[in-house]
Amino acid sequence: MRTNLRTTLLALAITVPASGAWTVANEQLVLQPQSRLWIEGTSTIRGFSCKAGEVKATVEANGPNAIAALLIGDKGITAVHVTVPAERMDCGNGTMNEHMKKALKVSDNPTIDFRVTSYDVTRQADGIAGTITGTLELGGVTKTITMDAAGKPQDGMLHVTGSYPLKMTEYGLKPPSLMFGRIKVAESVRVNFDLLLKS
């Protein structure tokens, strides 16, 4: 009898988490291939748009049904980390691509990273709206930023959209210039995101 009791206690010690309490496994939301992130800006001759060739995201929630919970205003998302390979930014023009990569200091800083530190969410008629605060690492400089975002259900997934005005010089970046300085890119650009997450 004593042996059986010891065996049972040992089995429980192995299977119960160190905290001594049973927990629900975290859920990870998966970024879908149709997700987009792009930068819009202006120059002395015309506007331009540079799209991210790849967007990676790790989105963790503290339990199952995270999307349904978020859509009713619950803050079930516990961690968000978005990474964009700067090398794969595409402005639709080879020369502009090279100048943009130089401006972003791609050789020393191959990725653009954003990590959410806090957020607020409120229910809307067709979804949710919120304010996201996090750290943006760009060109080797990290700053805390706050942006507005909106979310709505789409085919069982979460569709998140938003934008953020960014001043390149605040990150120590020199806006690109072409044709010996005759074409200059304005230092203020707008970062747009259109993301689709699936549980």
CA angle 172, 175, 178 (to 5 degrees): 145
| Per-residue pLDDT at 3 | 46
Q: Which residues pair with 154 in a beta bridge?
A: 157
Give the Cα separation of 154 and 194 in Å (integer): 13
Domain ranges of the chain: 36-198
Q: For 36-198, which CATH class? A: mainly beta
108 phi, psi to nearest 5 deg: -100, -20
CB neighbours of residue 20 within 10 Å: 6
Q: Mean pLDDT over residues 151-167, rounded?
A: 97
151: nearest Cα among 96, 45, 80: 80
In sequence order, what E strands does the chain have? 27-31, 36-42, 47-52, 56-61, 77-85, 89-90, 111-124, 127-138, 141-154, 157-167, 177-178, 183-184, 188-198
pLDDT tens across 55-69, in order? Answer: 999 999 988 889 999
Does the pLDDT value for residue 17 go beyond 50?
no
Does the pLDDT value for residue 91 go beyond 60?
yes
| Per-residue pLDDT at 95 | 86
Evaluate whether 28 touches 197 at the Cβ level (below 8 Å). no
Structure token pair of residue 185: 């890119």
Evaluate whether 119 touches 131 at the Cβ level (below 8 Å). yes
16 phi, psi to nearest 5 deg: -80, 135
Structure token pair of residue 78: 């516990």
Does the pLDDT value for residue 112 go beyond 90?
yes
pTM metric for this prediction: 0.83
